[in-house]
Structure 1
Amino acid sequence: MDPMIAALLRPEAYGHPVEALELLETHASWVILTGPYAYKLKKPVNFGFLDFSSSEQRLHCCREELRLNRRLSPELYLGLEPVHGPAERASFQGDGPVIEHAVRMRQFPQSDLLPAALARGAVGAAAFDAFAEDLARFQASAAVAQPGSSFGTPEAVRAPVDANLRALAAVPTAQPALAQLAPWVEAEFERLTPLLAQRLRQGWIREGHGDLHLGNLLLDGGRIAAFDCLEFSPQLRWIDTISELAFLAMDLAERGRPDLAHRLRDRLLELTGDRQGLELWRWYTVYRATVRAKVAALRGDQPGLDAGERMAQRSDLKAYLELALASTRTGPVALVLTHGPSGSGKSWLSQELVERLGAIRLRSDVERKRPFGLWGIPAVRERQGDPYAPAVSEELFAQWLPALARQLLTAGCLTVVDATFGLRRARRPLEELAHELGVPLLILELQTPPELARSRIQARRRRGLDPSDADLAVLEQQLRNWEPLEGDERGWTLRVPTTAAGESDGAATAALLLETLSAVEPAAPLAPAQGRPLDF
């Protein structure tokens, strides 16, 4: 053991009461737990992508660690503490020469880290919804890379992917996966290069967390808190916001919780409105999976591991490489419309499709409000006036929703548009889009009794947490003007009955949707529609 660390494992090395001393170790750091506080010290190592070999570099990175993490968890990061020498009598008190520095943190139970909290069922969907809002606010306030910066250029995006592949090339068991990943990376980078340059110009490259996986998340007082930002490399920290999200979603999927990964992605993108970023989703998921594979390989080569620990790292390496390969493949692409009045359970069902199938959802209630600054983080007011004006409804269904759906479908997403679609001329632009793009179209017809829809609307308005402003008067107007599915639309329809408990069967609907997709023909062209104005 390092002499300095051995000396710091003595209670008398601390100027406060020590409950118990425990040493945690990673490939780059030592963390000493004392009970009330944790002290993190950087190892004098150089892995190429991480260089802590000099005392100056370690001190700089300690300072950066404090600055970066106080943006997200200021209550965890308490300060910088000098270590006084000599090494064999190292202490956080005394007047000897300063031989090292440590970041002092409020200690928390290791059982509150997200992997452990997930394993025992202590963290669920509501916590991830709240974290999506926290992450959206953090990203909105983060420093933005300016055009001309070296951060976020196509070359800067490509470099760490290549570095991961080079590191994994030294791992014999990784060779079969690399034989498939390397040519995919080459072809995909060529395809995405113009978009990567555009993302930098548009301001999506920001000083983020940089290492946002489950092991760097904590369940703290019922909320998820992020810590341990990537302090040692600005190039790996100044990244596309969609890359940050892809890292956490990838890690959730690898841990057997794709439902939470899909829910987090849907919630964050609904808040930010960044559907363009989904074109980069597979690229960044592959990148992040190879990051974790590389880390597993490095940890597996550390001296002092027992057989069980070494086997666990090999298992992680294999799992992350398999996930990287799976991420190079696209899933089913289709356009799915809901059809049911307010209170019929459309949003509940579309949420089920998000979590079970990885669908991307467009909610008319949200997209109607976004241009008026009434939804989203950050809230951006691009228009004035009434979001429920007839002219706004015309634009929403004729232009905004079709444009967003086109973006998602061309990015290879299973796309669900959650709206009442009670008038055929509201449905028609999206039906024509499916035909134009040659993708299957399905309409989910929710068969909900009106009395149940009324009771849901009343309950929803009492809670006040839904983007829909529909009340009972709106529902009655919808029912009076309702235009049922007809003609060719019936060939694209799946009926979704309501169960005795008053809900749709999300699992059965998801399974039936997947089963049906392979047999559904692209929508046929339709004649222009006439009818009532889209005033709801």
Structure 2
Amino acid sequence: MNDRSDLAQQASLVQRLASALTAQDQPCQLFETHISWVLVTPTYAYKIKKAVKFDVLDYSTLYARHRLCEEELRLNRRLAPGIYLDVVPITGSFAQPLLGGDGGRIEYAVRMHAFPQQALWSARLEQGQLDAAEVEALADKLAAFHASAAVAPAGTPWGSGRFVDKAARQDLATVESLAESGELRAQAHLLTVWQSTQERVLDLIAQRKAQGFVRECHGDLHCGNILTLDGKVEVYDCIEFNDDLRWIDVIDDLAFVVMDLRFHGQPGLAAMLLERYLEASGDYSGLAVLGYYLTMRAVVRAKVCLLRARALDGAAAAGHAALARRYLDFAAASVQPGKPPLVIAHGYSGSGKTYYSGRLARALEGIRIRSDVERKRLHGLAPSTRMAAPAGAGIYSDDSTRATYARLLELARYGLRAGLPVVVDASFLQRWQREPFERIARERGAEFRIMHLRAAARTLRARLAQRVRDGRDASDAGPELLARQVAISERLGARERPQVCLINTESGDADRVLAALAASLRTDR
């Protein structure tokens, strides 16, 4: 229930503040949502919460609004400390309100640095401006944020299988009740049936809660809440008003922006974000629940669109209803993943495996898994840590190599089960390393390819020397390791050759061959 007189009084206050700011040579734009007003000047933005109460939030009292302004500041300064400045009291009277001052408090505002709307990723997507560097920066930022976020205390319901299941059922029931066409209701019903069969996923969700993956996240991580400002990616407008929506699995948090990028026609950027996040965080086990969260994020967006359509008339209502249908179509398609391919790179250090496997993963809109990164992760080392261990010893011992390939196989399984094309970047010079990957592809009915990278010995040595000088790659390979690889390498067998795609990375034809490989694998899907 919302008190119309309180809202009217607030609306008048906001208009008077806007006029006062403009009179002070601070031209003011006013933005309004169903829960807040935002006054934007060339320098600052002031966000004022409406005196409203809904099922998911309660801003109905001045005390609640003040407390949640402080909470909004605390939570958002985790990801955007340069944007969120402070909580400003509004004093004076409703007829003559003042931002700041020592008088009695009649309202509160969260003060932020203003930024142009064109900086938002939602706008950058529309203009075709969002690029790979921004997406990778976001992935790194989110991985670090999730790693440091508070873990849900034991005994709390947040993120448990039962809690997630109940929320999903409620969201689907709401969508079905709001759908005005038989087609939308049928779509919602099919998704409800699908959701009722997800016991195994809900068990995995419960396990992840016990493992500490439910944390105090952002909760509303779509492209309208991400921006690039002066070359730096920022994330703002975290959910402060509802603990249930913020204390979630980190993969659920990530799933929102992955879904949003896919929905807006950027599956390549979505795959790049996912791959970079997984490599930075190591949370490949989260792929087992990613599909569920992707689907439910689309369902929730459909619900929001239908609620907005219900509150509007005419063309505006029809537009939101049409958008809801698109989200439901996306959700329905996401529960039927295809049979993605599995590709392993093959070649000596310096042959171009990392470069070409990365390009292939992007072309397939899949993920790349790197042996150099996972080997070091198994030993508790950061990818950038330089190791001087001789070939065949230390983290490059035979036992360590076997553990690394076992880890790569496990991660490839996670990716394939999630419906993602997987490219594994490792040398794969011996048959015992290659055969298990071919076997899991065959078990899943997936296409399997060996991308054989070749370059002359002098080129390999020159590339490795340059890599050492640069010092930026996870690989520690040098001349000694290269010599050992040549000594232990086993030729590709006759049975393997039909699955081999040879790329001479010194040839001007390499790009064409890679493109043909990607095209053949997309066709096979």
TM-score with structure 2 setting the length: 0.88
In the TM superposition, residue 288 of structure 1 has moved relative to its aligned partner by 1.1
Q: d(CA) in 2 for partners of 1:510 and 1:119?
A: 27
> In structure 1, what is the equivalent of residue 516 of structure 2?
508
Matched, 1:36 2:36: no
Mean Cα deviation higher: 224-233 or 167-176 = 167-176
1:351-405 C-alpha deviation (Å, 9 max, x unpaired) = 233323232332111111102222379xxxxxxx8211232113323x3323333
Aligned to 2:398: 390
C-alpha separation in 2, matches of 1:153 and 1:146: 12
Alignment length (residue pairs): 504
335-344 or 203-212: which moved more?
335-344
Give 1:276 deviation, angstroms. 1.1
Deviation at 1:209, TM superposition (A): 0.6
Corresponding residue SS for 2:258: helix
Matched with 1:254 is 263
1:202 to 204, 211, 228: 211
Deviation at 1:439, TM superposition (A): 4.5
Shift of 1:508: 2.5
Aligned partner of 2:326 in structure 1 is 319
Bigger drift between 190-199 and 406-415 goes to 406-415
1:160 aligns with 2:167: yes
Following superposition, the deviation at residue 415 of structure 1 comes to 2.7
Conserved 8 A contact 1:341-1:479? yes
Distance 2:299 2:442 in 1: 37
| In the alignment, structure 1 residue 368 sits paired with structure 2 residue 378 | no
Q: Any stretches of 5+ residues in structure 1 without a counterpart?
A: 378-384, 518-536
Which residue number in structure 1 is paired with residue 191 of structure 2?
181
SS across alignment from 2:359: helix
The offset of 1:313, in angstroms, is 3.4
* CA–CA distance in structure 2, aligned partners of residues 90 and 293 of structure 1: 39
Aligned-partner residue type, residue 289 of structure 2: L
Equivalent residue, structure 2, for 1:287: 296
* 1:206-245 superposed matches below 5 A: 206-245=215-254
Give distance in 1, aligned partners of 2:111 and 2:70.
11
How has the CA–CA distance of structure 1 residues 357 and 473 changed in structure 2, closer, same or farther, with 3 Å as cutoff?
same
Q: TM-score, normalised by structure 1?
A: 0.86
1:388-467 map, 5 Å = 388-397=396-405, 399-435=406-442, 439-467=446-474
User: 2:158·2:247 contact (CA, 8 Å) conserved in 1?
Assistant: yes
The SS at the match of 1:350 is helix
Which one of 285, 297, 306 corresponds to residue 276 of structure 1? 285
Counterpart amino acid of residue 219 in structure 1 = T
Matching residue of 1:134: 141
Asked if structure 1 preserves the Cα contact closer than 8 Å seen for 2:227 and 2:235, the reply is yes
Q: Please identify, of 112-121 and 359-368, the stretch whose mean Cα deviation from structure 2 is larger.
A: 112-121
Letter in 1 for 2:262: A
Q: How far has the Cα of 1:428 moved from its partner?
A: 2.8
Which ranges of structure 2 fall in alignment gaps of 5 or more residues? 1-7, 385-392
User: Kindly, what percent of the aligned residue pairs are identical?
Assistant: 40
Q: CA separation of 1:85/1:326 partners in 2, compared to 1, >3 Å: closer, same or farther? A: farther
| 1:62 lines up with 2:69 in the alignment | yes
After superposing on structure 2, the runs of 4+ consecutive aligned residues of structure 1 that deviate more than 6 Å are none
CA distance in 2, matches of 1:72, 1:422: 43
> Following the alignment from structure 1 to structure 2, what is the Cα–Cα distance between the partners of residues 162 and 18?
51
1:367 to 1:439, Cα distance in 2 relative to 1, 3 A: same
Checking the alignment, whether the CA contact within 8 Å between 2:372 and 2:383 is kept in structure 1 is no
Secondary structure at the residue paired with 2:498? helix
Whole-angstrom distance in 2 between the partners of 1:215 and 1:480: 54
C-alpha distance in 1, partners of 2:281/2:100?
Answer: 47
- Label 1:94 to 1:198 Cα distance change in 2 as closer, same or farther (>3 A): closer
SS at match of 1:84: strand
